[in-house]
Amino acid sequence: MRSIPAKLVTWDEIADWCSSLGRMIVDSGYRPDAVIGLARGGWVPARLVCDELVTKNLISLKTQHWGVTASRDGKARLVGELQEDLSGRNILIVDDITDTGDSLRLAHDHAKTLSPGGIRTATMLHINHSSFVPDYYASEVDKDKWTWFVFPWNYYEDMSTFIREILAEEPSPEREIASLLRKNHGIIMTEGRLGRTLSRLEILGLVRQIEGKWSVLVEEKEKKRR
């Protein structure tokens, strides 16, 4: 079972960070003709930043780096390329967070080959060990306080990873899960929210409850052993 510091990010924090980004970009005088949202984490921030700038031109580009919650799946790579004619246009690439910085660098370098007029990058969060520093970021995270940010659009994906890791050790009642989420990840959840989360994961066939104890389904245990 991994012990990874994590934080449940709220929608209010997302709204604040994106509004700060909007202000910074506007104040800097940069006027993007197109905003590129990096799939998947950058989609919601990019959409909110588009609104901040009153622009409709939102484009998607997919990069892949981190697989299962908080574990990298090899080198960052582009999944597909930009198809739009961006030559001479000012572009802004938006992502949720720069951690290694590899994804944003990759997207930046790819976009540069399309000869844009200007190219700038923005993230809500920037961990200061990142090899790539965005032109705009709303909040800096000290590398010594590295945290896995559970964004609202990744809530079930991340929580199902953490919860199933706990249950892969041994079937547990809800209060034990709550206590291990707090101990291993610093995540504090109300009873109601944890209960609703477990019910959803049960409906999706990821966990099940027998006699008051939750467990991962057998196939999940098998995968772990392999």
List of residues contacting ligand AMP (CB under 6 A): 41, 65-66, 76, 95-103, 148-149
Q: Least distance (Å) from ligand AMP to the CB of residue 102?
A: 4
Q: Which residues pair with 59 in a beta bridge?
A: 36
- How far is it, in rounded angstroms, from Cα 151 to Cα 11? 8
Using CB positions, name the residue nearest to ligand AMP: 41
Burial 77-95 (b: 16+ CB within 10 A, else e): ebeeebeeebeebebbbbb
Measured from the CB atom, the residue of 4 and 214 that comes closer to ligand AMP is 4
CB of 38 to ligand AMP, least distance (A): 6
**Spatial distance between the Cα atoms of 25 and 17, rounded to a whole number of angstroms:** 12
Least CB distance to ligand AMP at residue 148 (A) = 5
**How many CB atoms within 10 Å of residue 222?**
10
Least separation in angstroms between CB 16 and ligand AMP: 17
Q: How many CB atoms lie within 10 A of CB 131?
A: 11
Query: Nearer Cβ to ligand AMP, position 26 or 188?
Result: 188
Whichever of 104 and 166 has its CB closer to ligand AMP, that residue is: 104
Nearer to ligand AMP, 133 or 217 (CB): 133
